[in-house]
Homo-oligomer: A and B are copies of this chain.
Amino acid sequence: MARRSDHSRDEIREMSLQAAEQLIIAQGYKALSARKVASEIGYTVGTLYLVFKNQDEFILHINSRTLDELYQSMQTVIDDHQDAHACVLALCRNYYDFAAANANRWLLIFEHALPEDNGVPDWYQQRIRGGFEMLEKLLQSLVATHKPQQIGTAARVLWGSVHGITMLAITRKLDVVGIESVYELIDSLVENYLAGLTR
């Protein structure tokens, strides 16, 4: 039996999350199970329930870490660009790149959510808001003449659209095979939508 001082609660949390991520990366979210994670970190199921309330909360934390990584990669893109227009385009491509490179973890974020999900905790709702705010700042300098509300709308349209194209592309529902690359779709969206906005 593992001794109680071998690892702190936080260490067990961290180990569990890492083990879960490895499982998901390697075999997809359906392969995730409490027993597998527990045995991977050298503990048993019961211990996991000391540290996470239940599987929902566990997955919420996994998703939160994935979102953190995504936002971090977005920040890098923002830091690398002077021109706002080029930056928006790069950000949208980056969203697809991230999703493609981390498909299984990224999919978990959306497989898990239910329509009746009123119970999503505040800290998670905040995480979601984070992405929009980055985009809103950029759009603000791009279409300076627009009202804040219009910019909020534009940010949501772009975010949702790129998300949709990415989602369908990754789950192979776009009926696109090599002919048009996903970049082409994203570029078409961004260029034409922004052109329409600033017309």
Residue picked from A149, A152, A180, A192, most chain B C-beta under 10 Å: A192
Beta-carbon nearest neighbor of A131 in chain B: B175
Within 8 A of B (CB), among A177-194: 179-180, 184-185, 188-189, 191-194
CB distance from A113 to the nearest CB of B (A): 4
Q: Mostly helix, strand, loop or mixed at chain A's interface?
A: helix
Within 8 A of B (CB), among A159-199: 159-176, 179-180, 184-185, 188-189, 191-197, 199
Q: Report which A residues bind B (CB closer than 8 A).
A: 28, 30, 103-104, 107, 110-111, 113-117, 120, 125, 128-129, 132, 149, 152-154, 156-157, 159-176, 179-180, 184-185, 188-189, 191-197, 199
Closest 9 A/B residue pairs (Cβ): A164-B164, A192-B196, A161-B161, A160-B165, A195-B196, A163-B164, A196-B196, A160-B164, A113-B171
